[in-house]
Amino acid sequence: MSQAHEEEVLARIGKGLVYTESEAAFQAPQRRTEQIFEYNHTPPGETEKLRSLLVAIFGSVGERTVLLPPFHAGFGSKVHIGDDFFGNVNLTFVDDVDIRIGNGVMIAPSVTLTTTGHPVHPSRRVDYGRFSEPIVIEDKVWIGSNVVVLPGVRIGYGSVIGAGSVVSRHIPPMSVAVGTPCRVLRPITDDDLTTRTV
């Protein structure tokens, strides 16, 4: 594939337009499949090795990162994580384009962050036709168990996403949001400094 063709495909991907597996195959060297496998099979006491693998896997990774294995990623290299991140088991990154996670983010078990969806009509899904849009999770967000975050979503500073939610639209800062589809339930206020639950 020529460089001009690769640039044309990347431009389409950047606009959220449909592209195919064959068209995007030139990105395969960015996949960190072997390193992800190694991370998921490294004993928990080997902290230096685990840290070096995270640095090798992700596009960028902050300090004091905790990511409990197993985790899964399409690429890994398109994930960017800030400081003081906690990711629980079975976190899945479908990172065909960037996933950007801020500082102080907590993610519960079995969460999926997917930048990619597929066209509704089956003829447009030939050769795994798909579209991709970046996900942004701002600082201090807490995402509950079994949440799915869909392409193009931004979750604002300090927000909480309730367990089992499907997040298909932007969530404003300092909000409690729940449901399928995920909707803002209420703002987070100083009253929450003295309560345990939502």
The catalytic residues are 118
The DSSP line for 61-130 is: E-SS-EEPSPEEES-BTTEEE-SS-EE-TTEEEE-SS-EEE-TT-EE-TT-EEE-EE--SSGGGGGGG-B
The DSSP line for 128-195 is: G-BEE--EEE-TT-EE-TT-EE-TT-EE-TT-EE-TT-EE-S-B-SSEEEETTTTEEEEE--GGGGG-
Cα 36 to Cα 69: distance, rounded to the nearest angstrom: 9
